[in-house]
Chains A and B, each alone.
Chain A
Amino acid sequence: MDLVDNIRRGDVRAIARAISLIEDLEPEAELLADSLFPDTGRAVILGVTGSPGAGKSTLVDRLITLERQSGHKVAVIAIDPSSPFSGGAILGDRLRMQEHATDPGVFIRSMASRGFLGGVAAATGDVLKVLDAAGYDTIFIETIGVGQTEVKIVELSDIVLLVLMPGAGDEIQAMKAGVMEIGDIFIINKKDMPGADKLRMEVEYVLSFKNPGHNTVTNPIVMTSAANDEGIELLWEAIARHRQEIAGSGTLEQKRRYRLERELLGVLDRKIHQLMDVRIEVSKQLPDWVDTLYRRKVCPYALINEQIQNFLKEGRDDRTN
């Protein structure tokens, strides 16, 4: 496949086209992802999450500079929600990283969530493979940290940077629900704002509850002011140290195995779903099913079990014919 070769050579157009194939759910995307798979596993994936306005993009922008100074090729996937009403999206994260737009060693791609719950994570996983195989050393995934979709995306990362800022009120409360659990490095950005120290203490407090038995690596807290270029070097060093720690302790391998497991199960899930959808025409029949359910003429489990039985019978019939 020409495209695959071009990607391996780092051709930007090819990489971009490949990403489009994947997010458009084109049939070629599967073969593409598999073709590139053997070349993956080298890049370090840094997930950056936190509430809107915390300064994620600005932080990533500064980190890109440091990465480039150390000779790394960097890629960024910036994910923003699609409008639930129109299905469209305004993707503006890259605006804060635009000074890197003409650096051939930096690739930035904006992705919209396109409204499918599990879908974004799947697409992002395959997009990561493209960038990994293309030779990018560090890949940032940037997303807003609310909701289950974003949690899934962050699971794709080797290291998760959680960006917080003072003055967001009960942010910690909301964050506790899942995202705090998966954060590896905690960043308090806009540290010049009032409440920064208080926030730091709150984070320390919450972290102290993380199960010491399972938690074999330390979770640093770094204070930054990205807009003023403060704390960035410290952050970078913390990331580098964390990388070493998880590589050395076997945690990185564990994470990556877990990620592959989840990916595999995800593919299986989607494939079965697709298969069933085709075979028993879920979309077409759904309105009628809902109708009979609403009128209490049939029950949910019974309805589905019957469909599955029919499906299996067809399969047996297919084979015997």
Chain B
Amino acid sequence: MSSKKTRILIAKPGLDGHDRGAKFIARALRDEGYEVIYTGIRQTPEAIVQTAIQEDVDFVGLSLLSGAHNELFPRVVDLLKENGAEDIKVIGGGIIPEEDIPLLKEKGVLAVFGPGTSTEQIVEFIEHGSGR
């Protein structure tokens, strides 16, 4: 009998301190049965990646509203790869213009959830859309 749970790291890279969305999604995902590790604001990409590896998460969810996503999201993806953890899936959320999404995906971010996304959509992706 397996007791396997999906583990998700919700992280806020960079200097942005607006955590309402991140805290909401952490709680909502917990209510959906996932194990969520939340590490607070002002996390460097290095800290996020080490945390993801130690916690052996399935997903890293990056929340960012300050416009620094084009720099910081790919950085996380790259660091995961450098540390032999490219199987950990990276998704992003926050204020991310649609026109930036194709580039982020090219750089290895699997999905981006902008404003107006519902919990249901994220769960749908985790369960069915992420190619697990």
Contacts and interface: CB of A to CB of B under 8 A. Distances in A.
A and B touch in the complex (CB under 8 A): yes
B100 interface: no
B34 to A, nearest CB: 5
A83 interface: yes
A94 interface: yes
B54 A107 contact: yes
A19 B56 contact: yes
A13 B57 CA distance: 11
Contacts of A82: 35
Interface in B30-71: 30-40, 43-44, 46-47, 50-51, 53-56
Contact of B5 (A15, A16, A19, A87): A87
A246 interface: no
A83 B85 contact: no
A98 B53 contact: no
Nearest to A24: B4
A112 B4 CA distance: 11
Given A23-B3, A26-B2, A95-B38, A90 B30 contact: yes
Contacts of A119: 3
Interface string A77-104: 0000011011111111011001001100
B2 A101 contact: no
Contacts of B4: 24-26
Given A12-B53, A13-B84, A90-B27, A110 B37 contact: yes
Contacts of B36: 88-91
Contacts of A95: 38-40
A57 to B, nearest CB: 12
A245 to B, nearest CB: 33
Interface string A22-33: 011110000000
A86 B32 contact: yes
A219 interface: no
Contacts, number: 97
A89 B35 contact: yes
A88 B53 contact: no
Nearest to A20: B56
B33 A98 contact: no
Contacts of B83: 13
Contacts of A102: 44, 46-47, 50
Nearest to B7: A20
Contacts of A85: 31
A17 interface: yes
A108 interface: yes
B32 A112 contact: no
B111 interface: no
B29 interface: yes
A88 B32 contact: yes
A88 B29 contact: yes
B31 A86 contact: yes
A301 interface: no
Contact of A25 (B3, B32, B85): B3
B102 to A, nearest CB: 30
A17 B27 CA distance: 25
Contacts of B46: 101-102
A109 interface: yes
A111 to B, nearest CB: 9
A98 B43 contact: yes
A110 B83 CA distance: 20
A116 interface: yes
A92 B38 contact: yes
A114 interface: yes
Nearest to A11: B84
B85 A13 contact: yes
B33 A91 contact: no
Contact of A16 (B37, B40, B43, B55): B55
Top 7 A-B residue pairs of the complex, sorted by shortest distance between their CB atoms: A16-B56, A101-B47, A88-B30, A24-B4, A88-B33, A20-B56, A87-B33
Given A88-B31, A94-B55, 8 more contacts: A24-B4, A26-B2, A88-B30, A89-B35, A94-B37, A98-B43, A101-B47, A114-B5
Interface of A: 12-13, 15-17, 19-20, 23-26, 82-83, 85-92, 94-95, 98, 101-102, 107-110, 112, 114, 116, 119
